[in-house]
Structure 1
Amino acid sequence: MPKVLIHPSAGPFSVNYTISTPSSSSSTHIDAALPTLLLLHGGLIPSETWTPQVLNVDLRRFNLVLMDCRKHGGSEGGDVETFSFEDSMDDVFHFMEALALPPCFLSGLSLGASTALHFSLHHPSRVLGLVLISPLPWIEIEAVSSGRRELVEVWGLAMSTGNKELLPHVANGAAQMGMDNVSNPFIDALLECSITYGIAQWSSPKQITSLKAISYDLLVSRGRIGRDALAKITSPILLIFASADSAYPLPLIEEVQRDLVDAGLEVDLKVVDGASHFANCTQPEAVSALLFDFVRKRATLPLFDGSPDVSSPFLSTLSPKYLDFEEDP
């Protein structure tokens, strides 16, 4: 995958990214004649989480841009002691600038949804539409924060002692939180891939500090965004709630919706039945359909009219067993 060096506020790092167009699963540039959808993954998982969307025939009728966020996936460098959503959204801004991306449709999953929302506050002219998949409530739930803290602590223990047998415990905890223990060839391969990346990203004491900053401190320090700040957003917003989300109940997401509406924004909320927190992985067809419909209705550029080259850019990073998913999505 290509990489680009950026110099945002939290410090420089090399962003690993993927551009999938109708004619190529891994391109070095977008097709400027088509709409562009920028996808931000959730915490602790890489861009490979968007595999079901990259393999979706409808979504491949426009540009899909995926970035491995700081200290995730194949991105390199970028260690931090502290990290905020302002830093996270600034990473995205500098990435867009480095690739000379035009105003995009922007979608984020979980932690990525919070980054996308903050980006829209600071750079509203760069966002054509905002899709927040399993958005986080304003305030972290104590039980969830405890689970996140335990994952970081166990991972740090595994790295400091060399006891790699602890890593499946981290994977199982992440699977319970994000997938509600749903298992299929793709999800199993994604978890394996995430651990492989994680060993490269979060092994030294300095890297463990970064892991805590980007996956725990960042999330527990968030708070409610005020009405005046939210009113700076100029694009329509779609909230996608996963009905089987074991971490965050619907009333908390409806509270976010009310605050967005009170700020005068155009907001819709859709519920995906049977989906866990990482809804795009556990109910990929439903989430992909919502993404496609959102972009199709609002895009000013035409969509690709033909048969796109729907193949995976992740054959080198995901275990071959996920191919069963690719053949029958």
Structure 2
Amino acid sequence: MTGFLRRDGARLRIVEAGEGFPVLFQHGLGGDAAQVADNVAEMAGLRRITIECRGHGGSTAGDVRPFTIGLFADDVLAAADALGLDRFALGGISMGAAIALSIGARHPDRVAALVLARPAWLFAPAPDNMRPYAEVAAALRALPPDAARARFAASDCAAMLSRDAPDNLASLLGFFGRPDPPLTAELLADIAADGPGVTEAEARALDVPTLVIGHGVDHAHPVAFARALAATLPRARLVEIAPKATDRARHRDEFRAAVADFLAATLPLRPVTEEPRP
């Protein structure tokens, strides 16, 4: 099911699947609801909801600038309010994990559980692992897309990623083929310079059951970040899964299993049954 919410000049696309306990699950930078659906399987008794962030998927960019994780988090909360959701589980991949952490720290009373998958931030803005996104943004601002792609592909940054994190490199090269290069550059530059807006002390006080998912062979999502978050959040459990760069199918299967096991053990999931026919 798909719906839309208008907010601050933006038309936000809301994608839902299933019925039951609501789980708001957010995609990563450059992703959309399809990324979530690929990694979070439908479950009996679960209502999976993704609000595609401004400038992503079927959502328009709107008028508010700069793009920030806090702005995206406010959009998710506005969608939850519009849907009449007082309490929900919350999760996300990469940027989506930062959005989830931002909401969880500010509104822990509304969050039944957290899933922080492949975190790209701890607590400080503009971490070094986000620098390649800023380099892609700079290339797109300086040159037409094909020339910008060639410049980035020949850079020291691309050479490092080709060696250490080939999946990250493939993702970054994909940004050069997006239909609106100026908007893509704006999104990448703004989000790469931002952070969740959550302090370490606030994270230590976040008394919510939490699953943290991490893996290796990934420059954008250092496994050290996943381990550090799991050690900081008081009710967190860390699951390390197969790297996407080395075995994409196994990575997907282990991601899905980790999320499903955690949600089934944490949430009051009740399968939706059909009313008996007269």
- TM-score bracket for this pair, using the shorter chain length: 0.7 to 0.9
Q: Is 1:272 aligned to residue 241 of structure 2?
A: yes
Counterpart among 49, 68, 72 of residue 65 in structure 1: 49
Distance 2:96 2:69 in 1: 10
Q: Secondary structure at the match of 2:202?
A: helix
Aligned-partner residue type, residue 266 of structure 1:
R
Aligned-partner residue type, residue 273 of structure 1:
A
Shift of 1:115: 0.8
Q: Is 1:131 aligned to residue 133 of structure 2?
A: no
1:168-215 alpha-carbon deviations (Å, 9 max, x no partner) = 887997xx69x94459xxx99xx97x777x41xx345xx36xx43x43
Counterpart among 3, 17, 22 of residue 20 in structure 1: 17
- Tell me the residue number matched to 2:266: 298
Contact 2:140/2:176 (<8 A) preserved? no
Contact 1:39/1:108 (<8 A) preserved? yes
Aligned-partner residue type, residue 2 of structure 1:
T
Structure with higher RCO (Cα < 8 A, 6+ apart): 1
Counterpart among 242, 250, 255 of residue 287 in structure 1: 255
Q: 1:269 to 1:169 in 2, by over 3 A?
A: farther
Counterpart among 113, 135, 144 of residue 150 in structure 1: 135
Q: Secondary structure at the match of 1:48?
A: helix
| Aligned residue pairs, count | 264
Distance 2:35 2:23 in 1: 15
Contact 2:102/2:198 (<8 A) preserved? no
Distance 1:83 1:224 in 2: 14
Aligned-partner residue type, residue 110 of structure 1:
S
Q: Secondary structure at the match of 1:15?
A: strand
Q: Is 1:121 aligned to residue 90 of structure 2?
A: no
Contact 2:4/2:13 (<8 A) preserved? yes
Shift of 1:285: 1.0
Contact 1:137/1:256 (<8 A) preserved? no
Aligned-partner residue type, residue 135 of structure 2:
E
Shift of 1:51: 3.5
Q: Which aligned pairs between 1:8-87 and structure 2 lie closer than 5 A?
A: 11-21=8-18, 31=19, 34-53=20-39, 56=41, 59=43, 62-87=46-71
Q: Is 1:251 aligned to residue 251 of structure 2?
A: no
Which stretches in structure 2 are left out of the alignment for 5+ residues?
Answer: none
1:73-126 alpha-carbon deviations (Å, 9 max, x no partner) = 110242433233322211110111122234221111111101100001112122
Distance 2:45 2:152 in 1: 37
Shift of 1:274: 2.8
- Tell me the residue number matched to 1:95: 79
Q: 1:79 to 1:152 in 2, by over 3 A?
A: farther
Which stretches in structure 1 are left out of the alignment for 5+ residues?
Answer: 22-30, 307-329
Q: 1:171 to 1:109 in 2, by over 3 A?
A: farther
Contact 2:97/2:119 (<8 A) preserved? yes
Shift of 1:233: 2.8
Shift of 1:300: 1.7
Distance 1:110 1:238 in 2: 14
Q: 1:88 to 1:225 in 2, by over 3 A?
A: same
Aligned-partner residue type, residue 14 of structure 1:
R
Shift of 1:231: 4.9
